[in-house]
Structure 1
Amino acid sequence: MIWFLEGQSSQRDIILGAREALPAEVRIYASHRQERPEITGHADVSFIEPKDNQERIDWALETALSHAIKVLLVGRVGSVFEAQRARFESHGLQLVTGGTSLRTFELVDDKSRFTAEAERAGLACVPALTVSSAEELVAAYEQLKTQGEVCIKPSVGIYGQGFWRFKEQADPFRCFANPDAREVSFTTYLDAYGKSASQPTMLVMPYMPGSECSVDMVCEAGRPVAFLGRRKQGLHQTFEIDSTAVELAVQAAAHFQCDGLVNVQTRDDADGKPHLLEINPRYSGGIGYGRHTGINLPGIFATRRLGLSEPAQNWKPDVRVKAITVAVPAAN
């Protein structure tokens, strides 16, 4: 028995991928803190999770034991569960959080610590200067702008929230009229940052103009066993398995001791050389797209964790995928 707790919206794809690979007699459990039958309805058994993170720990442990569940994949707040790993393992349960210890989360959740550790390990990464005041922001910008375009993002965060490119020609109102462009003049940003009641820690970085590669992978105690890179090309996404970006992502996942279904993001510089952006110790929103290439990462994860024969990786090159919105009934 395997249980997929609340994760990204792609939790639905995780369940479908696992169901495709697992024998019919293996029951799949799924849960969410909201009523999401379009996600959990594809499992054999579904639950509504408690909203409080600490309450979820006790509930998850009790529920797993009462249903003879063997493997639990944590989709969100992996660090909260990781801190309680010993409790689950003492009952013979496999807890999969995204890392093998709290150190993984300490290093990857804070982007400044992640950058420092990647540089120490000799892994190519986007260099960054950490700032926590208007004065430090000015100094970092002045230092980097001589090298080209500069960008900024929070030291802690997901989904690219808080990322901005500094464009001196940007109209001061542009960031409000077209926020998706992620472009703002440095003076406008500095004025807002300086007036903030609490100035959050930010990373100031050179902007790399190349494309971004999002690498989804299955890891086991720091060992990547299956992986697939995705790039956005206009309206479509393309895939790769043996590029330098994928190789860098695999090395990073191993160094940071990732475990489970994780995602590593890289970005190419002007010469096409990939640099690490971040590691997400959880599956990505687009992990399900890979099934169209013949590589079923959720299925590989589920079968290996349960000691079953994993699905063959029938790699299909030159596949392009376009995501679409589909309406589904919300009733159970």
Structure 2
Amino acid sequence: MTRVWFNQTFSNVRAVLDLIRQGDADAEFCLICTHPDPGFPGFLAADEHALEPPRLSGADYVEFCLEFCRTHRIEALWPGKEATLLVEQRARFAAIGVQVLAVATPQVLGLLYDKARFALEASRFHIPTPATIAFRTADEFESAYERLRSIHEVLCLKPAKGVNGEGFRVIREEHAGLDGLVRDGLYSIRLGCLRQLLVQHPPEQTWLLMEYLAGDEYSLDAVGDGQRLIALTQRCKRAGGAYGQRIVARPELTQAVSELTGHFGLSGLFNVQFREGSHGPRLLEVNPRFSGGIGYTGPTGLNLPYLALRGLIRGFNAQDSRDAPRLAPEMRVLELTQYQHHGGAV
């Protein structure tokens, strides 16, 4: 039995662990989960769990991880927190018999996490990124806004580095008072207010000004072997917040993810985001980690977390290559599976 450690990450790791357990009929893997919060939901689906020291980062966190691997007989690390740094130190982990399950090289991870660099790199792909200009100052914003606004009716912005839509805002030019606040919700900002903020409080990091894509969003959960796409589930999240998600199979999105897999050398489980615009779908980002909605893939019969873990540990077999890419069948998923308590402690 291979002891696999999932260090601090998002609460959706509970779905990942549950799906791996469902696919692991021969009990190949012992799943270990750690987090600083004693009530972390991922503990419920792990074979063993333990608390991490809070507020640890950088080189100190790497040393903690190395010691944890030694004392708990870890054989494989599926990195969450400090993923890039842990991948950079994979030789040190290999020296103590631990395989770091990296989606990509440290250089590629750095590119994927930097949305400004990624937008430039991916602008020439089969499905390109939306029109994007990076800015840091009020003057740079004004220049970018004038250029993009002459082409696109609505623009939006987000930080060049961030996760789960942090900082994303649609820019509204009109002034609609309090009624506008109710209609636009939390994800918009008035142009005048934005300009004032940029003058009074210039950002410390790079931001991206982009064309706004008003159509459906597509979240694609994928497994690659470092060269080609092995399996793929395409989830459509309807614009306007419709209930549930549709599992679809659009050939152009499959082609785009295949291209990304080969270009960036992606292996294991990762996520790709697209959104429909006035000129078709556009590539938003590649997340070198499992997605927040990975649980929606469970009912499709295509167990991506188990397929990724088995492939990374045992190697992707000839059948995986022959069937690639395997696609989840079209369906509608209204509810996530209810997870069971499994207990366990380190």
Shorter-chain TM range is 0.7 to 0.9
Gaps of 5+ in 1: none
Q: Cα gap change, 1:315/1:109 in structure 2, threshold over 3 Å: closer, same or farther? A: closer
Quote the RMSD (CA, aligned, Å). Answer: 3.0
Q: Which residue of 1 aligns with 2:261?
A: 253
Tell me: CA distance 1:175–1:157, structure 2 relative to 1, closer, same or farther (3 Å).
Answer: farther
Aligned-partner SS, 1:160: coil
The question of whether the paired residues in 2 share the 8 Å contact of 1:261 and 1:298 is answered with yes
Q: Secondary structure at the match of 2:214?
A: coil
Q: How does 1:145-156 map to 2 (within 5 A)?
A: 145-147=149-151, 148-156=153-161
Q: CA deviation at 1:197?
A: 5.0
Task: Tell me which of 192, 197, 209 is aligned to 1:204.
Answer: 209
Amino acid at match of 1:321: L
* Bigger mean CA deviation after superposition, 315-324 or 296-305: 315-324
Q: Does 1:270 align with 2:278?
A: yes
Q: Give yes or no for contact 1:133–1:199 (8 Å, CA) kept in 2.
A: no
Percent identity between matched residues is 26
What secondary structure does 1:130 align onto?
strand
Q: 1:34-73 maps to which residues of 2 (within 5 A)?
A: 34-36=37-39, 38-51=41-54, 52-53=56-57, 54-73=59-78
Q: Residue in 2 aligned with 1:214?
A: 219
Note closer, same or farther for the CA distance 1:132–1:93 as it changes in structure 2 (3 Å cut).
same
User: How many correspondences in the alignment?
Assistant: 330
Q: 1:90 to 1:217 in 2, by over 3 A?
A: same
Cα shift at 1:189: 1.2
Where do residues 21-170 of structure 1 align in structure 2 (5 Å cutoff)?
Answer: 21-22=23-24, 23-24=26-27, 26-36=29-39, 38-51=41-54, 52-53=56-57, 54-99=59-104, 101-120=105-124, 124-147=128-151, 148-170=153-175
Q: Deviations over 1:1-36 (max 9, x none)?
A: 222222221110111011111123632211122213
* Cα distance in 2 for residues equivalent to 1:189 and 1:37: 37
Question: Could you tell me the TM-score, scaled by structure 2's length?
Answer: 0.84
Change (3 A) 1:26 1:85: closer
1:173 Cα offset (Å): 5.7
Alignment match, 1:295: 302
User: Residue type matched to 2:63 in 1?
Assistant: D
Change (3 A) 1:37 1:330: farther
Q: CA deviation at 1:122?
A: 5.9
Specify whether residues 134 and 325 from structure 1 end up closer, same or farther in structure 2 by C-alpha distance, changes over 3 A only. Answer: farther
Indicate whether 1:321 and 2:334 are aligned.
Answer: yes
The CA distance in 1 between the partners of 2:50 and 2:311, in whole Å, is 24
SS in 1 for 2:331: coil
Instruction: Note if contact 1:4-1:15 (Cα within 8 Å) is conserved in structure 2.
Output: no
Judge conservation of contact 2:5–2:74 (CA < 8 Å) in 1: yes
AA matched with 2:193: T
Q: Secondary structure at the match of 1:124?
A: coil
| Partners of 2:157 and 2:207 within 8 A in 1 | yes
Q: State how 1:13-24 maps to structure 2 within 5 Å.
A: 13-22=15-24, 23-24=26-27
- Classify 1:247/1:15 alpha carbon distance in 2 versus 1 (closer, same or farther; 3 Å): same
Note if 1:188 corresponds to 2:188: no
The answer to whether the Cα contact below 8 Å between 1:294 and 1:314 also exists between their aligned partners in 2 is no
Gap change, CA 1:307 and 1:121, over 3 Å in 2:
same
Name the TM-score, length of structure 1 as normaliser. 0.88
1:134 deviates by: 0.5
CA contact (8 A) 1:228 1:246 kept: no
CA distance in 2 between partners of 1:314 and 1:255 (Å): 20
Aligned residue number for residue 246 of structure 2: 238
5+ long unaligned stretches in structure 2: none
Work out whether 1:285 is the aligned partner of 2:287. no
Segment drifting more, 154-163 vs 112-121: 112-121
Structure 1 residue 108: deviation in Å?
Answer: 1.1
Q: Distance in 2 between matches of 1:198 and 1:118?
A: 25
In the alignment, is the contact (CA less than 8 A) between 1:124 and 1:275 conserved in 2? yes
Q: Which moved more, 1:71-80 or 1:172-181?
A: 172-181
Q: Are the equivalent residues in 1 in contact too, given 2:101–2:312 (CA < 8 A)?
A: no
Cα separation, 1, equivalents of 2:304 and 2:29 = 18
State the secondary structure of the residue aligned to 2:311.
helix
In structure 1, how many angstroms separate the alpha carbons of the residues matched to 2:337 and 2:28? 32
